[in-house]
Amino acid sequence: VSLDQARALDAADPLAFARERFRFPDDKTYLDGNSLGMMPASAPERVARTVEREWGEGLIESWNEAGWIDWPERIAARLAPIVGARADELLVCDSTSINIAKLLGSALAARPERRVVLVDESDFPTDRYIAAAIAEQAGGELRAVSAEAISDALTDEVAVLLLSQVDYRSGRRRDLSATTADAQRVGAIMLWDLSHSAGAIRVDLATSGAEMAVGCGYKYLNGGPGAPAWLYVRRDLQQALGNPLPGWMGHARPFEMGPDYVPAPGIRRFLTGTPPIVALAALEAGLETFEGLGMAAVEAKAAALADFFIEAVEVLAPEATLASPLGAADRGAHLVFAHRHAYAIVQALIARGVIGDYREPNLMRFGFAPLTTRFEDAWRAAAALGEVIAGRVYEGARFAERRRVT
Ligand SMILES: Cc1ncc(COP(=O)(O)O)c(C=O)c1O
């Protein structure tokens, strides 16, 4: 592997043009689009239009005139081709954590004879914490088992199985359809966290048959820091399912302000409060970066980048041990490598403008956001990793200091 080879791969990359849809700092090799996607070039203008014209001049009339009131559904529709769902099955609202809470509560209410929420004990913390609290509030119990034990733990006591499709640490990918079928075989509801899938790999919610899903807006979807999250509820179930946080925005007729809650007929019932309009404008710019791109090509690009990086690290930084699945079909669009000094190495890389992140207990994580990452970035990161390790650059005292965000 060489820089020339990386550049040749970039020159031949059919998705290379997508990077032009973003503002990218020239002094950074950015391999953290899996945590915070790059800023769409259109975002400043898109947000400014909402702030200056719609808010500044239109004021409250913009709820009607600019259509703000419909944005949670209208903007969610842009996500439909990205996750293989129908537009009326998607909503953008709240955070991923809150959406998990709402859908878990909804699922438990739909299976009153069952009280177990099943999760993977190594899943992202918010999923496990929220699941424990919601299960307890419902008089039930959280069962957290190892990734390998999920299948055996699926019994007829399980009301809902909550799983990330792509693990935030290892990058390991689960088969959406096969796992959904396992859950449904015992009568459990399947709730997917697709935070590390949507926009990175091909996702076909419709084919999977899954009942519910959620995901972040700020990772591969490029919606900006703290972007609104999204949720999915299969169309045929919406009428029967309730929202455990039934706010006025999910009411069938919010401005009647009547004494009783009447859920909106479709997906809109899963709204709770007033949508964050400025943040939604940024998220729309993020989703627009996928316009015209096929998700099979997006996934293929991520796989090729990660494969190239694995090869480059083997040659340039052999002391880093791959701790993600080797086969592209078994992982998402990020990789982790283990090293005893992982934290300090990541800090030393950041000081050189190579941005990855650290995950406990000893993992260096690198993301290959397929719209914005070049093969050249992968090569530069591998070369820098090799230099930092071989030259023991990470031993510098300033690289040991733990920062609030790692
Ligand atoms: C799998 C997964 N779920 C949820 C979240 C975060 O949820 P929230 O948007 O509520 O902070 C993350 C963030 O990295 C994540 O990786």
Q: Looking at 141-242, which runs of residues are DSSP E strands?
A: 141-145, 158-164, 189-193, 212-215, 230-233
| Ligand 1 touching residue 229 (CB < 6 A) | yes
- The response to whether residue 218 sits with its C-beta less than 6 Å from ligand 1 reads no
CB 357 within 8 Å of CB 343: no
Per-residue pLDDT of the chain (406 residues; tens, 9 = 90+): 999 999 999 999 999 999 999 999 999 999 999 999 999 999 999 999 999 999 999 999 999 999 999 999 999 999 999 999 999 999 999 999 999 999 999 999 999 999 999 999 999 999 999 999 999 999 999 999 999 999 999 999 999 999 999 999 999 999 999 999 999 999 999 999 999 999 999 999 999 999 999 999 999 999 999 999 999 999 999 999 999 999 999 999 999 999 999 999 999 999 999 999 999 999 999 999 999 999 999 999 999 999 999 999 999 999 999 999 999 999 999 999 999 999 999 999 999 999 999 999 999 999 999 999 999 999 999 999 999 999 999 999 999 999 999 8
What integer pLDDT is reported at residue 357 of this predicted model?
Answer: 96
- In angstroms, the Cα distances linking 79 to 66, 127, 349, 372, 397 are 20, 22, 34, 18, 45
Best of 102, 123, 168 for a ligand 1 pocket test (most atoms within 8 Å of beta carbon): 168
What is the CA(68)–ligand 1 centre distance, in A?
Answer: 26
Q: Angle at the Cα of 178 (from 210 to 291), degrees rounded to 5? A: 55
Q: Which atom of ligand 1 is nearest to the CA of 96?
A: 10
**Do 174 and 163 touch, CB atoms closer than 8 A?**
yes
- pLDDT confidence of residue 230: 99
- Look at residues 215, 250, 212, 214 and name the one whose alpha carbon lies nearest to residue 233: 212
The half-sphere exposure of 258 on its side-chain side, counting CA atoms within 13 A, is 9
Q: Residue whose CA is closest, atom 5 of ligand 1?
A: 96
What pLDDT score does 406 carry? 85
pLDDT in the model for residue 141? 97
Average pLDDT for the chain? 98
Q: Which residues are catalytic?
A: 124, 193, 218-219, 365
Residue from 32, 102, 126, 406 whose mutation best tests the ligand 1 pocket (most atoms within 8 A of CB): 126
The pLDDT, as a whole number, for residue 132 is 98
Tell me the CA end-to-end span of the chain in Å, nearest whole number: 30
CB atoms < 10 A from the CB of 257, how many? 8
Separation of 224 CA from ligand 1 center, angstroms?
14
Q: Take atom 16 of ligand 1 and give the residue whose Cα is closest.
A: 168
Rounded distance from Cα 350 to ligand 1 centre (Å): 23
Q: Is 334 helix (H, G, I), strand (E, B) or coil?
A: strand
CA of 95 to the centre of ligand 1 (A): 8
Q: Is 95 in the pocket of ligand 1 (CB under 6 A)?
A: yes
pLDDT tens per residue across span 20-64: 999 999 999 999 999 999 999 999 999 999 999 999 999 999 999
Q: How far is CA 132 from CA 117, 162, 181, 182, in A?
A: 8, 11, 24, 22
